[in-house]
Amino acid sequence: MWKRLFLSEEHEEIRRLVRQFAERELQPHAEEWEAQEFMPSDVLRRMGELGLLGLRYPAEYGGQGLDIFASIVVYEELARCRAAGPAAVAAVHAEIALPLILKFGTEAQRRRYLVPGLRGEKIACLAITEPDTGSDVAAIRTRAVRDGDGWVLDGAKTFISNGARADFAVVLARTSPEGGHRGLSHFIVEKGTPGFRVARQLKKAGQHSADTAELQFDQVRLPADALLGEENRGFYQTMWQFQTERLIAAAVDVGRARVALELAVAYAGTRQAFGGLLAEKQVIRHRIADMATRVETARRLLYTTAWEVKSGGQPAAAISMCKLVAANTALSVADDALQIHGGYGYMQEYPVQRLWRDARVSRIVAGTDEIMREIIGREVIGKGGRE
């Protein structure tokens, strides 16, 4: 099979472990977590015990030192729990926030946050988006001002994944009066720091078991060692982080699309209509053929892009293509799967409707479709359409 070009037996062992974990330990609780609109943080501690949070981290911090494909198979298979919470919460923590600390943090910061983080004992979030600032990262208004040896942080963040549960936040703030992208820096802000609070947990159309919150920073005093990386280099650090975030987001969407396809095939193989099974009707077979083609296209694009990243590349346009295709595939395949289920698909007792609702936000988070197209278009035009 073509996957053998990219995956070792170790990767497949990880896949089997995560599939078993998702189906046996997570899926039985999916409905409960969705109803509560919160997944217990114990799930991350369990993932830490299984070694799933530190797959790509060095051994000295409790990781396994594996490659990007180890993470991809994890996030593909977590979709089998049929709720967005586990993949969303774990990805924000281990694949979005913590990599910034590994890449740009001091040794003291790595010891303080990475070690317990990879065990699932401390949970992280990344706070970038603001009420008036979404895709335009350079327009951030949250401000950190020097105060003696430390800083004072003021501002607000919104749509922050893991915001309600996080033990610490990696916050992007303006540290220079100079406008645009040149005056931004990252700070690590711990829960319980005076002036830092969760303003409210947000209600969403989907992904109910993954918490999303508004955060408020009111005269938050931070020590000098709260600065993460270089002062005024936060924009560039964020752009570096976006690349892996988008690849992992694509893996989540590929996994979600595969589950939707499997549910559609299973339903069509048992549902009687017009004197036979749905699967025997040409119109259904052709729809399923199109769904399978879109899933396979997105998956192969994901794997070939990940191979380029593993080989040392940072192919921003290819990663954007991967994210764009996977997000739209997840939504379209889930929509087709719901259509095949008919009225039952729209009922909350059937998981396909949740996959459909959960998939919609994929075209917004980690870079909207429009931003992905802008990145792709600039590179294609810059190269005159040539490779």
Catalytic annotation on 23?
Answer: no
Residue 131: which pLDDT band, with cuts at 50, 70 and 90?
very high
Please state the rounded mean pLDDT for residues 242-259.
Answer: 97
3-state DSSP call for residue 110?
helix
pLDDT at 202: 97
pLDDT at 116: 98
Pairwise CA distance, residues 130 & 139, whole Å: 9
Residue 134: which pLDDT band, with cuts at 50, 70 and 90?
confident
179 has pLDDT over 80: no
Q: CA 85, 130, 190 angle in degrees (round to 5)?
A: 65
Which percentage of the chain shows pLDDT scores above 90?
93
Please state the rounded mean pLDDT for residues 324-344.
Answer: 98
Cβ atoms within 10 Å, residue 191: 15
pLDDT at 178: 75
Phi-psi group of 12: left, alpha or beta (phi > 0 → left; psi -120 to 50 → alpha; rest → beta): alpha
Structural domains of the chain in order of their starting residue, each with its CATH number: 2-122 (1.10.540.10), 125-232 (2.40.110.10), 236-382 (1.20.140.10)
Question: What is the pTM (predicted TM-score) of this model?
Answer: 0.95
**Residue pLDDT, tens place only, 138-174:** 889 999 999 999 999 999 999 999 999 999 999 999 9
Residue of 245, 308, 374, 387 marked catalytic? 245
Residues 6+ apart with CB under 8 A from 369: 324, 327, 328, 363
Residue 65: which pLDDT band, with cuts at 50, 70 and 90?
very high
